[in-house]
A and B are shown apart, each in its own frame.
Chain A
């Protein structure tokens, strides 16, 4: 599974730390997500999509 978190973060001018605080995870988790080293839970994917005011499938791309 790929994602466009880095792209959306840049669009919303958010740092990894900002996003981590908004979705209540550690910054490390955002780093792992951006490197595609971790697949988020549905709740985390939903929270991230809500921060970026987008649909989950716009941010997370299922291969």
Chain B
């Protein structure tokens, strides 16, 4: 239950911080900022969806986490870490060829990692974990 509450708090904090970042800068929102905003909202929506699933499980009298959800998280973490290494490799390669600012590149990398994690989680949730 504590984990779920923390998940909701982090989601809210991320949204508030993003709001400050987007609306405290220039009055006109650039396309790159808009794309970042959409990705952040999607990632937060994913986190809230996971939190909601946990809450509904608890309400039904089931555990918030069980051996399968833990296994899915474990597999998701290992796969997304592995893929993220390649993402950073690609970012390193393309950062030499582009003139983006360092913080923009790091931000894109972090967002990319979050997206990779969400996609891996979805893949394991649809495909299942068979240990074969």
A binds B: yes
Binding site for B on A (CB under 8 A): 1, 17, 20-21, 24-29, 32, 35-41, 43-44
B132 touches A26 (CB 8 A): no
Report the separation of the CA atoms of residues A35 and B125 in the bound assembly, to the nearest whole angstrom: 13
CB < 8 Å neighbour of B130 from A24, A25, A28, A37: A37
B66 touches A25 (CB 8 A): yes
B68 touches A38 (CB 8 A): yes
B60, B61, B128 pick with most chain A CB within 10 angstroms: B128
Chain B residues whose C-beta falls within 8 Å of the C-beta of A43 in the assembled complex = 67
B130 touches A41 (CB 8 A): no
Residue B57 interfacial (CB < 8 Å): yes
Residue B104 interfacial (CB < 8 Å): no
Min distance, Cβ B40 to any Cβ of chain A, angstroms: 27
B68 touches A24 (CB 8 A): no
A26 touches B130 (CB 8 A): no
B63 touches A25 (CB 8 A): yes
B62 touches A38 (CB 8 A): no
CB < 8 Å neighbour of B129 from A20, A35, A38: A38
Report 30 cross-chain contacts, Cβ distance below 8 Å, ordered by A residue.
A1-B130, A17-B60, A17-B62, A21-B62, A24-B63, A24-B66, A25-B62, A25-B67, A26-B62, A26-B63, A26-B66, A27-B62, A28-B68, A28-B69, A29-B66, A32-B68, A32-B128, A36-B128, A37-B127, A37-B129, A38-B68, A38-B71, A38-B128, A38-B129, A38-B130, A39-B129, A39-B132, A41-B67, A43-B67, A44-B67
Min distance, Cβ A22 to any Cβ of chain B, angstroms: 11
